[in-house]
Each structure stands twice: as C-alpha cells, then as structure tokens.
Amino acid sequence: MEQNQQTCQIQKQNYHIVFTYGTLKKGYYNHKFIKDAVFVTENCYTDALQEEKYTILIDKKNYVPFLYKINSLTQKNPDIIQQIQDNIVPVQGELYIVNDEQLKQLDILEGIPTYYDRFIENFIIKPQNQQELQQIENKFEEFGLKDQIQNLDQSLQNEEIKPIKVKAYYYLSQQNLDERYVVEKNECFFNYTLEQHKKYVPKHLRE
C-alpha cells in the first residue's frame, strides 16, 4: 500500500499557465518545443490597466524577439520613449498549459537567467465568442487551474463576451540594449507576426 502511494505521488503532475509572444507561437520555428502542451487561446494580451507596459524588440544578430518592460527601457535608454510612446498597446500572444517537465524544458530553451528570466503576471484573455469562452474555462478547470483566473466585470469592459484575467508565467528579456536590436519606432512590436518573423529570420532557420 505504501509503495502504491509513493508511485501515485511520483506520477502526480503540476500544471502551469504560460504566455508566449515570439517564436514559440504556432507557425514559428520554436513551436516544436511547446506543441505537446495544451493550447488555450491566441486572444491573450498584457494587461493594459497595469502600470507596467511591454514591447517586443528584435535581436537582429540572433533573430530572436525579446519582451521588455517599457519603463525599464526608458530609464536606461530615454530616447526610446520618444520612438514608441505613441504606439503603446497591449502585447498579444498565445496561452498554453504546460506540466512540470515542459516548463523545465522551456526554462532551458529560454536560457534562464542569462537571456531571459521567468516571471508571473496578470494577462487578459478576450474570447471571440461564447463557445471559445466556455472552452477556455473548461481547460482551466480540467487541469486544476480555475483559481488562476478571474472573470472581469463585463459592464466595465464594454465587451459582448466577458474578458478573463489570468495569472501566467512569461519570459522577460535580461539583455541590455545594444546595436543588435531594432529600436526604430515602426519596428517596436506589440504582436510578433509571421510577416515580421519571415522578415527577420532567414529561411533556413524557419524550416
């Protein structure tokens, strides 16, 4: 009996919610590292009501998008705020549910703590319809993560479908800005699209 209990404890999985915004998304070259995780939604955004705002900058040498807090950028690089302040909108990304081993592998892939570090933050899910909302809520309940979400007051959001606030892990850049990075206003991103991916990443690395 004791041996069976120990086996059950070993096999028990913990699950985590992860926000992805770059090459881990569907259609990008690093998606293979997260393809076995549970996809939740692509309609996920950084919380616009929080004091911290985010942007994505591209490492032109290594073809990697990095997520930065705008406040930390402007403290060290005050000229950047002049280039992006008129275009500050929530960063869009995809949300996944991962187990302990998958989270560990993501940490290795992201080069913690040299290139990125992992933090937890509030994100906003904006379902496109009632069916998607129900599917999202069902997934969180299935994996024991219902306590990580909060239904927002629909009357305050001016949305037909109620948004959801969720606590999720995300990977924040630990790199200092230098000449490798794109910092022009029109190339600070809030949604790293496939078009931008194709522009910056050589074809042989995308396949």
pLDDT digits (tens), the chain, 207 positions: 444 544 444 456 899 999 999 999 998 889 999 999 999 999 999 987 777 788 888 777 767 788 888 777 666 666 666 666 655 778 999 999 999 999 999 999 999 998 899 999 999 999 999 999 999 999 999 999 999 988 766 544 555 778 999 999 999 988 776 545 544 444 566 788 877 777 777 776 666
In a domain, 110, yes or no: yes
How far lies 175's CA from each of 5, 39, 44, in Å? 45, 28, 25
**CATH of residue 80:** 3.10.490.10
| pLDDT value of position 150 | 87
Specify whether 101 is catalytic. Answer: no
Selecting among 2, 94, 110, 137, the annotated active-site residue is 110
Output the CA torsion 111→136→94→144 (10° steps): -10
Does the pTM surpass 0.85? The reply is no
Report if residue 10 sits inside a domain: no
Is 7 among the domain residues? no
Residue 107's domain comprises 15-199
Domain assignment present for 103: yes
- Residue 9 is assigned to a structural domain of this protein: no
From 69, 55, 56, select the one nearest 28 (Cα to Cα).
56
Does residue 192 lie within any of the structural domains? Answer: yes
Number of domains into which the chain is organized: 1
Instruction: Tell me what pLDDT residue 155 has.
Output: 46
Report yes or no on 205 lying in a domain. no
Classify residue 206: in a domain, yes or no.
no
What six digits make up the tokens of 119? 């933090």
